[in-house]
Each structure stands twice: as structure tokens, then as C-alpha cells.
Structure 1
Amino acid sequence: MTDQTEAPAANGSEAVIPASKRKKLLIRLAIIVVALAALFVAYDWLIGSKIVSTDNAYVQGSNAMVTPLTSGKIVAVPVTETQMVKKGQLLFQIDDTDQKIAVAKAEADLAAARRQYRAVAAQGSAQADQAAAQAAGVAQAQAQLSAAQADLAKAQTDYNRRKSLQGTGAISADELTATTTALQAARARVAQLSAAVTQQQSQLRSAASNRQATLAPISGTTIEGSPAVQQAKAALDAAKLDLERTKVRAPVDGVVSQVTARVGQMIQRGSTAMVVVPVGSLYVDANFKETQLGKVRPGQTVELTSDFYGSDVVFHGKVVGFAGGTGAAFAPIPAQNATGNWIKVVQRLPVRIELDPKELAAHPLRVGLSMEAEIDVSGND
């Protein structure tokens, strides 16, 4: 009977598993499934619920656009694409002939402004001397007027005395006439000197006004602090700045990229000549699903791996903030969901992650590289 039962197997037909063995296999399979389910639940509870991850993350950087602040012909480009440069390193040189001429002219204008200040001061000093001489003339005229007034008083007294004696025979007619003439002459002398004093005083006031007008541009200043000299200094500083701007230097440490500057090219002020990528201060924008962000907070730690280095190199960082909107919200043509055929799509929000500078220096990255990011959200439990 045993031979007949096993005969179909020998003829190539399917073997029949005994019911007892089949039951054991099913039990084992059930145990394995339950164990796997338990492991999945345990992982999700112990680990998965404390970490959110995404592979939709990319290295970004605040690229420095190199734009000249003066126009001219490029005469030298000592750097090349992909070259590492330091902040302040020369990137390209613009012909500086015009700027050197402008500096020389500004220096001459400054020297002229200083000379003009000295000339005005000297003229003011000369006018001060003239005013002093005019004041002395006024004093002299006033002294002469005082003397003339004294002579007039004496002549008036002599005239009054002789006039009172007229008709008594004590004084002759000629003597009275001489006294009268002397009185008139004294009066004329006083009037003349009074006019002279008035004229001298007027000239003194005019001299003082002229001196004040001459010194007005430099009043209350020194030669270096005068408005004209300050203006000339500012023009010289501007000319020197334009000259310095003919040497375009790296604004940050980084890698030179997108070089469009060429020797002999006429470049305009404000046009982009190249880009410097600050590889030492790169960051990651990780695009997490909106359903993952409920527990994500700024300051949480992040572990990242790059396709460039593989899983052997782990970068560490921290969350620094969230974008102001989803990618769809800032798209040139935003999604219009107020239609009859609308289908809900889970949106992604960029999360900014700051990288450890030391790890970045040890394993340099480049803008645009793919990353995988895992945020530890266990601190929110």
C-alpha cells in the first residue's frame, strides 16, 4: 500500500504533503508573519515614530554673484572655472587708464582748494590790517575834530567878549571883524572835520564788511575742515574708489563657476561676470511631505548621507527653519485647485538644514548634490 501511495511521485506527479506536516508549516509561517509584524510595529514605535526622513533633499548655497561696479575693458582674468579662491583674491582686472586720470585730476583739485583757502585767509588778514589802519584814521580824525571844537569854543568866547564891547570905544571895528572871521573859520573847520570823521567811520565799516564777506567761506573752519577742501577730498576718495574697483576681487571663499569674463571684453557696470560658490557654508533644503512635519521643530538634529560619498560618510546638522510656502505655491504657474477634476496631492515643504562646517571641510560638497535626511523628532515626545 505504501508503494502505491508513493507511486505518483515516482511518475512525475506532485508529491502529497501529509496533513500533519502541512499544519506545522502553516503554523511556522504564521509565526514568521506575526514576528515580522511585531518587528515592524516595534520599529515604527521605537524608531520610526521618532525619525522622519526623505531622499528629496539637495545641497544648496548662497552663491556670490561677481559684478563689477565700474565699466571698461577687461585686461586680465587670472582665475579659471572650478578654481578655489579666497576672499579678496583678484578675479579679473579692468583697464584703469581713465580712473588714474580721474585720480590725478582730483588730487590737483584738492591742492587747488587748499591753496584757495590760504589765499582767502591771506586776503582776510590784509583786509584786517586795512581795517586797523582805517580805525586809526578814525581816531585821528576824531582827535582833530575835538581840537577844532575847542578852537571854535575859544573863537566863540572871543567874539562874544568883543561884541559886548562894541560901541564903547574899547574895541575897534577891525578887531571885531577879525574876531568874527576867526569864529566863522573855526566853525567851518569843525564842519569839515565832522564830515571827515563820518567818512572815516563809513570806510571803517566798509572794510569790516569786506573782510567778513571774504572770510565767510572759511569762517569757523580749518584748512582741512573747510567745505571746499572737504568736497575735493570726497571727489578724490570717489576717484580712488573707482580706481580700486577696476580690480574685481572674490567676495567670499569658494569655487569659481559660470565664468563669462574674457580678456578684451567690454563689460558694463552691474553685469554678472562669474559666480563664486561658497562651498564652506553650504546647506541642505530637504523637501518633506506635509504629513511628516507635525513634530519637526527648529534646532532638531539631522543625519544626512550623500550619493556622492555613499552611506559610509554621515553628515550631521540641525533644522534652522521652514520655507514660507510649498514649491507649488511659488511655482510660476500655481496649481488651480478650484476645478471639477481636482485630485488631492500631498505637498512638500522645504526644510532648511545647516551642516557641520568641520564635516563639510573634511568632505566637501557641491551645490545640487542629492542627500538623504533623517530628522530626530524624539525630543517632542
Structure 2
Amino acid sequence: MKVGTKEGREVASTERLDAGRYTATLPAKNTDYTPSAEGNPPRPKRIALPALGLGIVLLGGTFVGAAMILKGSPYTLGSLNAPKVGGDAKIGTGVIPPAPDFLAVEASKRAVCTAFVDVEQGITPIYPLAPGRVKKIHVAENQKVKLGEVLFQLDDTLAKAQLAEATADVDAALQQLEQAKSLNVQHQEQLKGQIAAVDARKAELAVSQSKQRSAKKALDNNLLSQDEYIGAEKGVEAVQSTLRIEEAKLRGLQATNPKTAELLATNDLAARRARLDRAQFGHNECFIKAPFNGEVLRLFISEGESLGSNPKSPAVYICPDKAKIIRAEVEQEFARRIKLGQVAMIQDDTALANDTWKGKVTRVSGWYAQRRSTSLDPMQFNDLRTLECIIEVETNDQLPPLRIGQKVRVTLLP
């Protein structure tokens, strides 16, 4: 190293720093410090605060989860009493029975599934039968309605015109029917007149034939010329021709059925009345009415909106005024544990609610099918085959009311 040069000063500075590093005094706590073979001392060990905080959070979450599981367990429901096992511990007091084998056996007898609040016949979507423009909405969401109450009204201008036209057609058909009935009387009178005309021609023919016979005698006695006798014969032939014409008219009247016109008029009246009923029905369908007593759940229309012939969504969802049920969908592996009359404990699917409803199984489906719910859940395998069972819920005024579509968790007890 050359003294006084730039390179020499940098090397000297580096040596002084290294000497100070290796001769630094260690903290008093590290009394067992021994320099390493390489001459570099190890750094003091320090606790990573972020890792410690994360560990504390995970530990707290574990305790909270365990408490929630114990709280939501069927053993803690106040309405249940499990048999005493290994002592006088009572279920529902927060004390877990000391026999884990008993818990495993009892848990294997239960079936837990998700379910939805519904009514027996399901909610009803309301569609208008014909396209049109919404003229007025008469109800609101969550409103109670009676059977036949108008929900909303479509523009009925065209329906009114069609109804008036059909009414006029029926009036015209009634007049035609009355005319057809009068033709029957006319036919009877015409028939009587034609019979009299035939009788008159027959009498005239008899007179003509008598004159012909007299003319024949006079001709034989040379009292009448040949031309006069021929004239008498022609007169008989003319009367015979006239008689044949009148008899033909009589046969035509006799062959005519006077009730045919009345029958045609009656059928025409029936057809026009059918068109009137159709026009009346079309006008009535402009006023969409409630099909039963119930509650309006949702309105998908607004005044002035035009509804097409193939709407993508219903205009109104209405729920019948009937007792709510739980429609549970049990997976096949738990289906063998389901039976009629089985007690069911029902809780809201959210972990924040502690309310528990009680019910019993009233019907079990006879086939495995896809889930009834139509909305696709991206976190759910919707092609899963389940067995549907219906659970009737006991009335309990102390608990909040169940609502249509509410997702619940059902525990079916053995």
C-alpha cells in the first residue's frame, strides 16, 4: 500500500472499520457469546412482531370458532335433553358430556341439510295473457290482496273496440234468428195456398174434361165441328199442364224444411256469441287480478311500460296466504335417516342468528331430483341429486317470522 495516495487512504479506512466491528462490545445479556471460527459474531435474535400478532389472531379465531360450534350444536338447544352420560351433566348448560363415543353415535344419527322457506304450492308468477301497455298499478310490494282484486291494468282501448264489434254482431244474429222463425210461419201459409191452388186446378181440369166429353158427343152427332172439338181437347191439355206446374210447386214446398233457416241462424248466433265471449275475456284480461288471497312479493313492471308477448320475467310475484313450510333438500348419503314425523330443529343459515324454530317432517319425496332452487349458485354444485322433504313449522310468536326464500339450516333428530 502506498502511503499518501488515494488507494492507500481507502484501504486504511476499510481496515479501521473492520477493526472496530470485531472489537465492539456485546450486550450484557449475551454472556455466553463465543466468536465464531470465521471471526464474524452472530447477530442477536429478535422476535418478529407481525408473526406474533398473526399467531394471536389465529388462536383467538380458533377459540371463537369452537365456541360458535358448541353454541350451534343440537346439544345446547334448550328444548332438548340428552341422557346423562358419566355423571349429572345436563345438556344445554354449556357442559359437554364426557363420553366422546356417545357424541359420535348421536351425531351419526342426525342429518343436517340446507333448506328454504316456502309455501306448499310455491309462489306464483303472474303474466298477462296478451301484450299491452301498463296503464295503472293498483298494488304495492308486501301488500295483502284478496281473491279477484285488481293488481294492475293494461290499456283496454283495442279490447273495448273488439268488444263493441262483437256485441253488434250478436244483436244482428238475434234479428236474423227472429226472421228465420217468421219464415216458418210463412212456409206453412205458402204450403196451404199451394195445396188450394192444386185443388183448384184439379177442379178446373174436371170441368175441362167434362166439356171435352160433351164436345165429343156433339161431334159424333154432327152437332159440333171438328175444330171446335180440337179446341176443347186443347183446353183440357192446358189445364193439365197448369195442374202439373202447381203440383211441382207443392212438392217443392213440401220438400223444403222451414227449420233449416232457423237452425242456420241459431248456429250463427252461437258463433257470434262465442266471439263476444272471447272479446269480453280479452277485455277482462286487461285487468290482471289476484288468483287467490295472498301477498304481493315483487313487482317487475311500471306504469307506461310495454309488455311483449314473450316476457322474460313475470309482472308480479304473489305468495298465497297459507302456512309457511320448510323445503329441505337432503343429500343421498343422509336420506336413509329421514322418516315421517321426525323432529327438525331449524336455524337461520347465518351464524349471527341464534333463533331456533321447531318442526316435524310431514312429507318425503319419492324420487331423487335436482335442487328445486332455480338460481345458480357459483359455489354450489347444482347438478347434485337430493331428496326433498317438507317440514311443517310450529307456531312460535316469540321468534321473528320466517320469510319466503329465507335460507335455513335444518337438523333432523333421530
Q: Shorter-chain TM-score: which interval?
A: 0.5 to 0.7
Match of 1:261? 301
1:350-381 C-alpha deviation (Å, 9 max, x unpaired): 42214258679x9642233233334466xxxx
1:286-331 C-alpha deviation (Å, 9 max, x unpaired): 233322222434x343423232874453233423315533559x99
Which residue of the other structure, out of 359, 362, 365, is the alignment partner of 1:321? 365
Residues 245-284 of structure 1: matches in 2 within 5 Å?
245-269=285-309, 271=311, 272-278=314-320, 280-284=322-326
SS in 2 for 1:313: strand
Match of 1:342? none
Amino acid at match of 2:117: V
- Greater shift in the superposed pair: 87-96 or 274-283: 274-283
Report whether the alignment pairs 1:132 with 2:192: yes
Indicate how the Cα distance of structure 1 residues 89 and 270 shifts in structure 2: closer, same or farther if over 3 A, else same.
Answer: farther
Which residue of the other structure, out of 329, 341, 347, is the alignment partner of 1:306? 347
User: What CA distance in whole angstroms lies between the structure 2 residues aligned with 1:42 and 1:56?
Assistant: 25
User: What CA distance in whole angstroms lies between the structure 1 residues aligned with 2:204 and 2:367?
Assistant: 95
Report whether the alignment pairs 1:83 with 2:143: yes
User: What CA distance in whole angstroms lies between the structure 1 residues aligned with 2:172 and 2:321?
Assistant: 50
Residues 22-33 of structure 1: matches in 2 within 5 Å?
none
SS in 1 for 2:322: helix
1:54-113 C-alpha deviation (Å, 9 max, x unpaired): 142222452211111123222211222232333322211112222222222211111100
SS in 2 for 1:324: strand
Structure showing the higher helix proportion among its residues: 1
TM-score, L = length of structure 1: 0.68
Amino acid at match of 1:369: Q
1:199-248 C-alpha deviation (Å, 9 max, x unpaired): 21223334456x54x752423x8x7xx11111111111111111111111
Match of 1:6? none
User: What CA distance in whole angstroms lies between the structure 2 residues aligned with 1:190 and 1:149?
Assistant: 6
Match of 2:179? 119
Which residue of the other structure, out of 180, 192, 198, is the alignment partner of 2:244? 198
Indicate how the Cα distance of structure 1 residues 374 and 185 shifts in structure 2: closer, same or farther if over 3 A, else same.
Answer: same
SS in 2 for 1:325: strand
User: What CA distance in whole angstroms lies between the structure 2 residues aligned with 1:358 and 1:229?
Assistant: 57
Match of 2:407? 370
User: What CA distance in whole angstroms lies between the structure 1 residues aligned with 2:401 and 2:321?
Assistant: 7
Report whether the alignment pairs 1:288 with 2:330: yes
Alpha carbons 1:255, 1:279 under 8 Å: kept: yes
SS in 1 for 2:357: strand
1:182-211 C-alpha deviation (Å, 9 max, x unpaired): 5433322211110110121223334456x5
For structure 2, list consecutive stretches of 5 or more residues without a partner in the other structure.
1-84, 90-95, 377-383
Alpha carbons 1:283, 1:352 under 8 Å: kept: no
Which residue of the other structure, out of 265, 280, 301, is the alignment partner of 1:240? 280
Indicate how the Cα distance of structure 1 residues 67 and 359 shifts in structure 2: closer, same or farther if over 3 A, else same.
Answer: farther
**CA-atom RMSD in angstroms:** 3.7
SS in 1 for 2:216: helix
Structure of greater relative contact order (alpha carbons < 8 Å, 6+ residues apart): 1
Indicate how the Cα distance of structure 1 residues 126 and 288 shifts in structure 2: closer, same or farther if over 3 A, else same.
Answer: closer
Indicate how the Cα distance of structure 1 residues 44 and 86 shifts in structure 2: closer, same or farther if over 3 A, else same.
Answer: farther
Alpha carbons 1:68, 1:270 under 8 Å: kept: no
Alpha carbons 1:323, 1:352 under 8 Å: kept: no
State percent identity of aligned pairs: 20
Which residue of the other structure, out of 262, 284, 289, is the alignment partner of 1:218? 262
User: What CA distance in whole angstroms lies between the structure 1 residues aligned with 2:394 and 2:301?
Assistant: 31
Amino acid at match of 2:114: N
Alignment length (residue pairs): 308
Alpha carbons 1:307, 1:371 under 8 Å: kept: yes
Which residue of the other structure, out of 97, 102, 116, is the alignment partner of 2:162? 102
TM-score, L = length of structure 2: 0.63
Which residue of the other structure, out of 149, 152, 162, is the alignment partner of 1:92? 152
